[in-house]
Structure 1
């Protein structure tokens, strides 16, 4: 299956582009949470954040940082929401970071999924230990 975002990066599919260089393309989301909602994608096909090469991480997120500042300034927003999905809820299997302008009382509340709590401090410690152990195998 052809990748929609690769087609956008190649100029084969039209999208309202706000920035492009040899590494990334940033364009308006076609179903924005708020006007000014931008997607920042790497030009190279990268399915998820964990597929991004280590040497690409810094340059990619520098562009995400710049786009975040531009969205806030350009949309006269008081802040922003910056997020990415990996596989679950990822509508296009090509890495993309959402940069969404935010303002107080804009109607967006917290995250889009239910929040939970750990049953105990021990459960939280066990969860943290599992993640630390996984880092050792990175």
Structure 2
């Protein structure tokens, strides 16, 4: 308990005395040097581990991104083929009713109108995107 221990009280003698700085001996200096060396080694180890972590994370992301881009490219090709088939089908159908020149104009104008609408939508969405990841 606290009553059994000697608790020093502040005397007037100790109140005005300033603590004296002790001069470190060689053992303390070597100990400090070994601690700083250990700290530097730990920082190097941490930096190496962080680099390896982000390298592994990047390789996983690159593999996933590569697969996604391949699928996206294939979908784009197949989608383009479908749009071309649709346009040719419309052209054949319209040429019987309005003539080949008018059918070509209608089909071309419709395709350009759809492209303009989609471009406008893309521009509106691009303006909403944050330029920096901290802006989100």
Structure 1 and Structure 2 fold alike (TM over 0.5): no
Q: Report the TM-score, using the length of structure 2 for normalisation.
A: 0.23
Higher relative helix content? 2
Higher relative strand content? 1
Q: Report the TM-score, using the length of structure 1 for normalisation.
A: 0.23
Structure number with greater CO (CA < 8 Å, separation at least 6) is 1
Larger Rg: 2
